[in-house]
Amino acid sequence: MLNETWIINQLKAHFPHTIGDDAAVIPASGNQSYIISKDLLVEDVHFRRTYCSPANLAYKALQVNLSDIAAMGGKAQFVLCGIAIPMEQAQYAQDFLATLVTACKDAGVILIGGDTTRSTDKLFISISVIGSSNTDNIKYRSTAKVDDAVCVVGALGHAHLGLIACEQSLPDLLDYKNAFLRPKAKSDEGFWLAEKTCIHSMMDISDGLFIDLKRLCLASQVAAHIELNDLQPSAVFKNGCDHLQLNAINVMLTGGEDYGLLCTVDNAQYAQLAEDFKQKFGYSLQRIGNIISGTDIHFTEHAVPTHLVLTPFSHFGEAP
Amino acid sequence: MLNETWIINQLKAHFPHTIGDDAAVIPASGNQSYIISKDLLVEDVHFRRTYCSPANLAYKALQVNLSDIAAMGGKAQFVLCGIAIPMEQAQYAQDFLATLVTACKDAGVILIGGDTTRSTDKLFISISVIGSSNTDNIKYRSTAKVDDAVCVVGALGHAHLGLIACEQSLPDLLDYKNAFLRPKAKSDEGFWLAEKTCIHSMMDISDGLFIDLKRLCLASQVAAHIELNDLQPSAVFKNGCDHLQLNAINVMLTGGEDYGLLCTVDNAQYAQLAEDFKQKFGYSLQRIGNIISGTDIHFTEHAVPTHLVLTPFSHFGEAP
C-alpha cells in the first residue's frame, strides 16, 4: 500500500535524524540554522485551472511553503521555483510567474533559482522556501509533552468549505473560496510563537487537524484529548456547512489546506501566552484540548467521551 | 513566446543578482556558502517508464542535481525529494524511492526532506541538492574572459545517441544507452577544478554544448570560437551516429543530457592544468576553442570558418 505516511516512514528508517517535520533544518552561521521546505502542487490534484487563476495559484504556491517555514519558527528568506508547463498553457504559466515575482517581493523573499521545463498535459509546480532561525527557537513536531495545551492558530475547515464551493461552482461562500484559493501563511505568528520556550511543539495544519495532530502525537509518542465543544464553529461557518450538507465539526477536523498552525503549550503558561497572543495579533490562540499519555486522538463533547468516524484527507485516497 | 531562456531573463530582470547559474548560492558559516539546485524530471518529457527502470530514474534524478552542484564547484551534502505519483504507479514509485535512498548513501548525501503527493497520470520528480563550498571557489557562468581556453570534461553527444537508441528500441549501443539512462555527474572533477583560480567560469552541459556555451557567452558578454577538428569524435561514436544516420559533430554540439562540465581556463595556464587533470582523473580536459570578444559562437574546421545550422535542444520545442 502506498501512502504519504508509509513513504515518510520508509525514508525515515534510513535517515532517522532528518526526515519528518514540515521542513528540513541545516546549519547556517553561528547559532543560526536554515529551514528548507519543498511542496508540490499538481494540476487537477491540488488545483484546477478552471477556477484557480494563475495569480491565485502563484500566491498559494508561495504561501503553502511559507507556512512550512512558519511551522518551524523560521523567517523566510529565499525561494526556488520549479515549473513544468504544457505547451498550450504558456499564457497561464507566464501570468503565474509574473505574480510569483510580485508575491515574493511582497513577502520579502528573494527568488534565487529553479527550473522550467515542458510537461505533456498537466501543470506541475515545485516550490522550495529557505528560511532562517536561531537554532534554539526551531520547533519540531516530536517534542510535545504530556499535559501540554493543544492549540490552533487560524480558522479550521474554511478552506475545505471553499474547495467544495469551487468544485460545485457555487456563486456564494466567497470568504471560504478565498480561504481555499488564497490561504495566508501564519508567518508572523509562527515566528513569534517560536521565540517562546513554553511552546513545546509546532507544525502547520495542511492536511486537516485530525490527521496532523495524529502525526504530531505519533512523532512525540503521546496522545491527545480534544474537547469538541472548544472547536466553536461560528454561526456563519455552520450555515455554510449546512448549505453544503456537511457536518461542521467533521469539516473542522478533517478539512485540509487551511495552513493554520498547531502547537502544544506548557499548560501552566497557556493563559499568559494566550493573552499576549490576543494583544499582539488581535485574535485568539485557541485551546482545543490537552496532550495525554497513550496513543491516538480521544474526543469528548461537553466532557463526555464520544466516538467520531472521520475520513482524513489523503493525497492517495486511502487512509493514512 | 515561451521558452526557458525567456522565462529566466524575465525572472532575472526582477532578481538580477541571484538568477542565472546552475544552482543558487546563499551564505553559510564563515567563508562557506551553500549551493542549491532544483531540477525537474517529467514522465514522457525527460524519461519514459517503458525503457527507464525506477532504479535508473532515481540514480539519474540525483545525478542531474549533483551535476549542478559540481558545475558551481560545490560538494553535495543534502537532498530533498518531491515526487507526484499516479495511483497505478505505486510499485514504480516505491522502487524509485528505494533506489534513491541507496543512491544518496552512495553519493554521501543525506536525504533531509521533501514532499509526496498524488498525480493524475504522469510521474513528476523534483529533486534539490544542497552542496557547500568555500565562497571564493564558487564558479559562475558570467565570468569567462577573452582569450580563455574553452574546455569540456566528459563525452559529448553520448547521451543523445543513447536517447535515440532507447526511443527506437534498438538492441545495441548499450554504452550510449547507459550514458543516457545512468549519467554520472562530474562531482570530483567539478570540485577539483573549482579550487583552481585559473578556471574563470564553469557550468554543466545539460542541454547540449552549443546552447550551453551560448548561455555562458551571453552571461559573460563574450563570444566563443570553436574548432570543430578539436571535438575529435571516436571511431566507435562515429559508427554509432552513422548507424542512426546522424551527423556526429551535430550530435556532439546539440545533444543534451551528457552532464559533463564546460569551463573556461586562463590561456597561459591551460597546459599545466590539463596535465594535472590527466594525472588526477586519467582522461583529458579537452580544449575545443577560445573565448573571443563579440557575440555568438563561431566555428572553424581546420581553421577555416564554417557555418553550421544547428537546432539546439529546447524543452519547449522552440529555438531558445
Q: SS3 string of chain B? A: CCCHHHHHHHHHHHCCCCCCCCCEEEECCCCEEEEECCEEEEECCCECCCCCCHHHHHHHHHHHHHHHHHHHCCEEEEEEEEEEEEHHHHHHHHHHHHHHHHHHHHHCCEEEEEEEEEECCCCEEEEEEEEEEEHHHCCCCCCCCCCCEEEEECCCCHHHHHHHHHHCCCCCCHHHHHHHHCCCCCHHHHHHHHCCCCEEEEEEECCCHHHHHHHHHHHHCCEEEEEHHHHCCCHHHHHHHHHCCCCHHHHHHHCCCCCEEEEEECHHHHHHHHHHHHHHHCCCCEEEEEEECCCCEEEEECCEEECCCCCCCCCCCCCC
Name every residue whose Cβ is closer than 8 Å to that of residue A239 and which is 6 or more positions away in sequence: none
Test B113 with A316 for CB contact under 8 angstroms. no
Average pLDDT over every residue of A46-70: 94
3-state DSSP percent of chain A in helix, strand and coil, to 5: 40, 25, 35
Q: Do A26 and B90 touch (CB under 8 A)?
A: no
The rounded distance, in Å, linking the Cα atoms of A229 and A246 is 18
Q: State the average pLDDT over residues A27-50.
A: 93
Closest residue in chain B to residue A112, using alpha carbons only: B18
CATH domain B12-136 topology? 60s Ribosomal Protein L30; Chain: A; (3.30.1330)
* pLDDT band at residue B313 using 50, 70 and 90 as cut-offs: low
Grid coordinates belonging to B159: 547521451
How far is Cα of residue B216 from the mean position of the Cα atoms in its chain?
A: 13
Confidence of residue B3 (pLDDT cuts 50, 70, 90): low
A38–B80 C-beta distance less than 8 A: yes
Residue A266: Cβ within 10 Å count: 16
Chain A residue numbers touching B23 (CB-CB < 8 A): 113
Does B113 contact A37 at a Cβ distance shorter than 8 Å? Answer: yes
Would you say the CATH fold of A140-306 matches that of A7-136?
no
Q: What is the pLDDT of residue B21?
A: 82
The CB density around residue A143, as the number of other CB atoms within 10 Å, is 16
Residues B81 and B129: their CA atoms lie apart, in Å, by 9
How high is the pLDDT of residue A310?
87
Of B18, B118, B124, the CB nearest to A113: B18
| Range picked from A314-318, B65-69, B169-173 for highest mean pLDDT | B65-69
Q: How confident is the model at residue A19 (pLDDT cuts 50, 70, 90)?
A: confident
Flag whether pLDDT at B319 surpasses 50.
no
Question: What is the mean predicted confidence (pLDDT) over B152-181?
Answer: 94
pLDDT at A320 over 50: no
Of the listed ranges A185-199, A262-276, A298-312, the one predicted with least confidence? A298-312
The answer to whether B158 and B150 are in contact (CB under 8 A) is: no
Decide if A24 and B122 are in contact by the 8 Å CB cutoff. no
Superfamily of A7-136 according to CATH: PurM-like, N-terminal domain (3.30.1330.10)
Q: How confident is the model at residue B314 (pLDDT cuts 50, 70, 90)?
A: low
Residue-wise pLDDT for B266-288, tens only, equals 999 999 999 999 999 999 999 99
Q: Which residues of A are less than 8 Å from B77 in CB distance? A: 26
Prediction ipTM score: 0.90
C-beta atoms of B42 and A112 within 8 A:
no
**What CATH architecture is B140-306?**
Alpha-Beta Complex (3.90)
- The reply to whether residue B4 touches residue A94, judged by beta carbons under 8 angstroms, is no
How do residues A234-252 score in pLDDT, each as one tens digit? 999 999 999 999 999 999 9
Maximum separation of any 2 CA atoms in chain B, in Å:
58
pLDDT score at B7: 73
Query: How many C-beta atoms lie closer than 10 Å to residue B50's C-beta?
Result: 9
Give tens-digit pLDDT for B185-215. 999 999 999 999 999 999 999 999 999 999 9
Least Cα distance to A306 among A238, A249, A232 occurs for A249
The answer to whether residue B60 scores a pLDDT higher than 80 is: yes
Across the interface, whether the CB atoms of B124 and A124 are under 8 A apart is answered yes
Mean pLDDT across the stretch B105-133?
Answer: 93
The pLDDT assigned to A318 comes to: 45
Of B10, B77, B130, the CB nearest to A97: B10
Check CB contact under 8 Å for A34 and B38. no
Closest residue in A to B81 (Cα) is A38
DSSP assignment letter at A221: T
pLDDT of residue B320 exceeding 60, the answer is no
Question: Region A66-74: what's the mean pLDDT?
Answer: 97
Is residue B1 over pLDDT 50?
no
The whole-number pLDDT of residue B163 equals 93
Work out the minimum CA distance from B92 to partner chain A, whole angstroms: 11
Measured distance CA(B144)–CA(B146) in Å, rounded:
7
CA distance B46 to B61: 10
| Segment B100-116 mean pLDDT | 92
By residue count, chain A amounts to: 320
Q: How many CB pairs under 8 A join A and B?
A: 209
Residues with Cβ within 8 Å of residue A10, at least 6 apart in sequence:
B97, B98
* Mean predicted confidence (pLDDT) in A110-120: 89
Contact state of A26 with B126 under an 8 Å Cβ cutoff = no
Q: Is the pTM of this model over 0.90?
A: yes
User: What integer best gives the mean pLDDT of chain B?
Assistant: 92
User: Which H, E and C letters describe B127-173, residue by residue?
Assistant: EEEEEEEEHHHCCCCCCCCCCCEEEEECCCCHHHHHHHHHHCCCCCC
Average pLDDT (B155-169) is: 94
Note the pLDDT of residue A200.
98
Residue B82 pLDDT > 50, yes or no? yes
How far, in whole angstroms, is CA B276 from its chain's centroid?
Answer: 23
The domain ranges of chain A are 7-136, 140-306
Cell triple for B248:
556526429
> Chain A: residue nearest B37 by CA?
A114
Give the residue-averaged pLDDT of A225-230: 96
Confidence band of B318 (pLDDT split at 50, 70, 90): very low
pLDDT per position as a tens digit, A294-313:
999 999 999 999 999 887 76
Q: How far is CA B63 from the centre of its chain?
A: 10
Which residues on B lie below 8 Å from A14 (Cβ)?
101, 105, 111
Lowest mean pLDDT across A51-65, B18-32, B36-50: B18-32
Residue B16 pLDDT > 80: no
Best B33, B43, B77, B117 member to test A by mutation, with max A CBs in 10 Å, is B117
Q: Residue A311, SS3?
A: coil
